[in-house]
């Protein structure tokens, strides 16, 4: 059984999967011949391991001391039911974890390993030998959606659209009714306090507090359904970025008090305690109210009887990213396992990582494996009003094409 669909038989490496480490300073790439690790900015090769066979999933801990590897491609290095924790210092597997069915995704922290298969999440303590601490049933999860932080782990619930949020210390489980259709993408903030979700409909991104499971923001990507590739929350939790099969990268503001214990919607007034927190911030004067979020439809957003799409919060900036022209017809040799950021029978595209609060990296896989860097900030554009924008200021084919 192959885990990632065939691209073609021409010479040269093929990227079967790609994923960022926890701070997006590096990204690991599973190849049809092994795996490699790149520095995110500048995009530079840091390590390359030729295994003479395919790696369909490569997830990195830290700066590539340990990686979780799963076989894949036309000639898998290992069965897709096995997870190998690779010790790169010793150039060999340190731990092997075997499952009953194909592994779809692996997440790593210094303390835990989370393994996603079709209908369950298996949680292990990262030790030698590893200790399995829990197994959680999920709805069908062909994308292997799972977010693992230092204190919580989040993954699909038993019903489509719901999220299970588990506290790693206590084992307490909370259920968040995030969407009415199946989950498509998910991201956990760096501090673990925010969880962003999108469904297979792809029009709305919802953001929840992991401390009380309250929805704190609802962001509209667009009106037409879309296939969400990736969601990423900025390091300071002030912004959220999302990519989709529309070949568009959107960036949204998040509520400024979202990291507090009480929920705050972008349009709700600040509580007295929140006002005090804002007044202590060097960015907001004590006598100044927070600016209302930008509204795409201007005065129409304030008319109460119009459809909600007129009052929803839209991105403050957007731009195009490169999807390439790889298609099922031309990619006939890469057998793949669906993963976050993938279209059926196509390589992963639009995988996002924030390297700081003003810089986004967007990567894709396949033979046309690209790296793109985007900047966010004030930028003057002739004929347009001044304001924050997003623009691309670098790209390359990272496999040397």
Q: What is the mean pLDDT of the chain?
A: 84
Give yes or no for residue 1 having a pLDDT over 80. no
C-alpha 103/C-alpha 68 separation (Å) is 11
Question: Strand 120-125 to strand 370-378: parallel, antiparallel, or no bridges (unpaired)?
Answer: unpaired
Instruction: Kindly state the average pLDDT of the residues 256-262.
Output: 44
When mean pLDDT is compared across 228-242, 304-318, 371-385, the lowest value belongs to 304-318
Total H helices, total E strands in the chain: 1, 31
26 or 345: which leads in pLDDT:
26
Question: Residue 400: pLDDT above 70?
Answer: yes
The span from the CA of 392 to the CA of 322, in Å, is: 10
Higher pLDDT, 350 or 265: 350
The domain total for the chain is 1
> What is the spatial distance between Cα 230 and Cα 141, in angstroms, rounded to a whole number?
16
Query: CA-to-CA distance for 99 and 84, rounded, in angstroms?
Result: 11
Contact 238, 357 (CB under 8 A): yes
pLDDT in tens, 174-225: 999 999 999 999 999 999 999 999 999 999 999 999 999 999 999 999 989 9
CA distance 360 to 242: 11
Torsion angle (degrees, nearest 10) of CA 317, 207, 113, 172: 170
Q: Residue 283 and residue 280: Cα distance in Å, rounded?
A: 9
**CATH code at position 222:** 2.130.10.10
Instruction: Determine the structural domain holding residue 101 and report its residue range.
Output: 4-397
Lowest-pLDDT range, 10-14, 321-325, 375-379? 10-14
In the prediction, which pLDDT does 384 show? 80
First to last CA, the chain: 29
Condensed to tens digits (0 to 9), the pLDDT of residues 344-373 reads: 457 899 999 999 999 999 999 999 999 999
pLDDT digits (tens, 9 = 90+) for 97-140: 999 999 999 999 999 999 999 999 999 999 989 999 999 999 99
3-state secondary structure of 321: coil
Q: What are phi and psi of 398, to 5 degrees?
A: -75, -15
pLDDT above 80 (res 336): no
- Please state, in angstroms and rounded to a whole number, the distance separating the CA atoms of residues 183 and 89: 37
Residue 12 CA to residue 153 CA, distance in Å, equals: 37
Lowest mean pLDDT among 45-54, 130-139, 304-313: 304-313
Which of the four pLDDT bands, split at 50, 70 and 90, describes residue 385? Answer: confident
Tell me which of 302 and 49 has the higher pLDDT. 49
Name which residue leads in pLDDT, 326 or 238: 238
Cβ atoms of residues 362 and 350 within 8 Å = yes
């Amino acid at each position: 059984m192959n885990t990632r669909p065939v691209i073609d038989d021409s010479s040269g490496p093929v990227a079967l999967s790609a994923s960022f480490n926890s701070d997006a300073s590096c990204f690991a790439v599973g190849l049809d011949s092994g795996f490699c690790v790149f520095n995110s900015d500048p995009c530079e090769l840091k390590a390359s391991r030729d295994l003479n066979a395919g790696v369909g999933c490569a997830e990195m801990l830290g700066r590539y001391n340990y990686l979780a590897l799963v076989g894949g491609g036309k000639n898998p290095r290992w069965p897709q039911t096995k997870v190998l924790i690779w010790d790169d210092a010793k150039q060999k597997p340190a731990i092997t974890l075997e499952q009953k069915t194909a592994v779809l995704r692996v997440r790593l922290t210094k303390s835990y390993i989370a393994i996603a298969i079709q209908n369950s999440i298996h949680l292990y303590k990262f030790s030698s030998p590893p200790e399995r601490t829990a197994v959680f049933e999920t709805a069908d999860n062909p994308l292997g959606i799972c977010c693992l932080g230092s204190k919580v782990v989040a993954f699909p619930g038993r019903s489509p659209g719901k999220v299970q949020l588990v506290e790693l210390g206590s084992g307490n489980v909370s259920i968040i009714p995030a969407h009415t259709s199946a989950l498509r993408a998910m991201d956990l903030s760096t501090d673990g306090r925010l969880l962003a979700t999108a469904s297979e409909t792809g029009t709305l991104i919802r953001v929840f507090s992991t401390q009380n499971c309250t929805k704190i923001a609802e962001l509209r990507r667009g009106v037409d359904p879309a296939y969400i590739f990736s969601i990423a929350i900025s390091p300071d939790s002030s912004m959220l970025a999302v990519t989709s099969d529309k070949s568009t990268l959107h960036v949204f503001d998040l509520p400024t008090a979202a990291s507090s214990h009480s929920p705050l919607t972008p349009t709700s007034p600040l509580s007295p305690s929140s006002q005090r927190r804002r007044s202590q911030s060097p960015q907001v004067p004590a006598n100044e109210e927070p600016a209302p979020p930008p509204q795409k439809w201007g005065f129409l957003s304030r008319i109460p009887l119009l459809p909600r799409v007129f009052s929803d919060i839209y991105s403050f900036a957007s731009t195009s990213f490169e999807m390439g022209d790889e298609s099922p017809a031309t990619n006939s040799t890469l057998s793949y396992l669906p993963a976050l950021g993938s279209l059926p029978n196509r390589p992963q595209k639009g995988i996002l990582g924030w390297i700081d609060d003003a810089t986004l990296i967007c990567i894709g896989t396949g033979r046309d494996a690209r790296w793109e860097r985007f900047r966010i900030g004030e930028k003057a554009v002739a004929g347009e009003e001044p304001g924050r924008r997003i623009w691309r200021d670098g790209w390359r084919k990272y496999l040397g094409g």
